[in-house]
Structure 1
Amino acid sequence: MPIELKMPALSPTMEEGTLARWLVKEGDKVSSGDLLAEIETDKATMEFEAVDEGIVTKILVAEGTDGVKVGAVIAMIQGEDDQGAVDKGDAQPLPLAGGEQVVSTPQPVKPTIKTPLPQAGGAGGGPATPQSNDRVKASPLAKRIAGNKGLDLTTISGTGPNGRIVKADVEAISGEGRSAVVAELDRGIRRETPAPTQAIDTDIPHEVVKLSNMRKTIARRLTESKQTVPHIYLTVDVRLDALLKLRGELNASLEARGIKLSVNDMLIKALALALVQVPKCNVSFAGDNMLQYARADISVAVSVPTGLITPIIVDAANKSLSKISTEVAELAARAKDGKLQPHEYQGGTASISNMGMMGIKQFDAVINPPQAMILAVGAGEKRPYIVDNALAIATVMSATGSFDHRAIDGADGAMFMKIFKELVENPLGLVA
């Protein structure tokens, strides 16, 4: 049988993608680690690589094809074990649709993502066991990632050819804050409640704009959230004067290091600390179970040309403000270039969305399941405010928490908002 090169799952929840560009052509010889194509997922354009050596004999899916299902055959490759037979003309050709022929081969090859994951600072188990990992049937990239993340490959089931472990298998286990239970819950919701489609008949002059995979996913996810998650909204007004003063002092001391804290960086830290202090809000609803998270991973909403993406600050409560600022800037830049890896935007235990820089005073954000809350931050503006029992002018910001009422009671959400307000109005706690 010919080797079937199949559309890879580049994330735990990916169901289909766009084959954006082939990086090889028919007749090319590929080796383990060579880039084969660029795949556009719902969040980014990613490269994937070959696991074994072989020759590309037939490309079955053309560049630019949308809606290619995960597992669909996109090309045929002649494996290295039969290349001697191919060179000598000994192998038997097999017919394909359209009359083309390829040479029979012993086993399929499955691609994985090219870029290795960075070493994690939170998720993962104990030290890796190199001896056992060396004996496991896994791609070189999967072994390297498992070593970096301290994972034992003997505990992972492979989905590659003949049970071979590939990168997607390692990513699904490590999760970077997203457990297998949550990922499966997410996939189940997506299958059960697809976003509705509606044809529009109009005489108004218009242009039909094709939706990107990201925009399709945003439409589906927001529809799911509003249909399946009972939202409760709680708003507090927060005085920012002390935080702004501290920010100015910190930026003066960090200037030599080229770091400039934003208000949002400090709010991320306040959100994470509030989740630690009110753990009943750091949860996910999972049917008959509740997932109680042991750390606060904050998803930060970033607007990109194709929609919205939420890179994650892992364990934000235990990171310095300067570290948070550096990570946010780096992740946001790569998000806008479409270069984030799945573990950098999938997961998170709560989200923050800040529209204050655009002058928005207050808004209610939509929860991103399986998370159970999101904080919507408005603009800081001068308002009449009671300070020390006297009317004064203060810089005030409105913040609204959206909570999944299945998982978080109103009293717990109110306590969370109270703690968040106290942390922002007494900001020395953010650097303690």
Structure 2
Amino acid sequence: MSIEDLYDDAARERIVAEPPKRVDAPVRLAFERDRARVVHAAASRRLAAKTQVVGPQTDDFVRNRLTHSLEVAQVARDLARALGTHPDLTETAALAHDMGHPPFGHNGERVLAELSAECGGFEGNAQTLRLLTRLESKTFDADGRSVGLNLTRATLDACTKYPWSRDAATGPHGVHADGTPRVVVKFGVYDDDRPVFDWLRSGVEGRRRCLEAQVMDLADDVAYSVHDVEDGIVAGRLDLTRLDRDALWETVRSWYLPGLDDDALDAALADLRSVASWPEAPYDGSRRSLAAIKNLTSDLIGRFCGSVQEATLAASDGASPVRHRADLVVPSRTEAEIGVLKGIAAHYVMQADDRVSLMQRQRELVSELVEGMWVRGVDALDPVFVDDWQHADDDAARRRVVIDQVASLTDASAIARHHSLVE
């Protein structure tokens, strides 16, 4: 049985049925078509100018949201193939996973969540679903409503990292990079997008994520735990040969692993240091030093994915490794190692004084931009959002249009738009 045979007609169904392509066109399967649509989406291109950890204009080596998404996609595809789930489907979910991020990343997300509290809130993953099923322009239904990229049910389900609404979300925990408590709850659908969410989750009960979404989520964790550390090293912000253990563990626990004591964290760091390519000398900018970091990132990704692959296959009961028939198994030891790496980046890069100051100004800019557009109304909107504003039934719906507009901006275009509207 081929991998395609494991996915039934319901998994390949689209919101709007599409006729077969003309006979002289290249033959592409349903999930291959979905992948192409995400690759060519305008929201994907904008990721190239959106913050990952260090801003896109800071250095030509560090990652932006697009390069991060490409790396997540590679990790997800390789792990999916090893597990026997669909590589194209899983890769598409990885390519799309950050499409909903606003300018300035989680920092911008925080502001938009506060300013949209009365119209349904804001969350990057819920915004991704909105983009894929409404805001991106490709297909319209019989009533003239946009259905976005018209992706298959299985692909949309794989893109749903948090399959629940804001009302069903648990409270936020941990702190932001400036030490203030997190305020954004994690959820995957706004109330006015609930019909398409219910359609894509047809036949699924509860909050269980499909296997492909679980692989995408792990690939995201693996990629940014490793690559954010790499970016921090090259930017001169951290040195893996000189770590302040006590301060580091405080950050790791407050951000990622609140239940682990010093002994468990010491053990995780010792395991990481046992990797043969872990550096013994500080990074010096040479080609050999850069190659050493690349070897480390490769070894760590292989270590984490290999551990998960082994544990997942060992726990398999013979069920097909697709959609809701199987679950990913992440060993606690691997989870701790990933958490320690994320904590290193958080402590030495995200909490740096210069970055905290910059983040404060970014939040002020996004807030002023939203309020400026709200006051100006339709005159401040891009043409693609004008129709949404004109068809909005009330202030809450119009507020959502402004939020959609601001969320679509890149870091640079947000600054430029702010200058034209506010200054």
Q: TM-score, normalised by structure 2?
A: 0.23
Q: Which has the larger radius of gyration?
A: 1
Q: Comparing both structures, which one devotes a greater share of its residues to strand? A: 1
Q: TM-score, normalised by structure 1?
A: 0.22
Q: Comparing both structures, which one devotes a greater share of its residues to helix? A: 2
User: Which structure has the higher relative contact order (CA within 8 Å, separation 6+)?
Assistant: 2
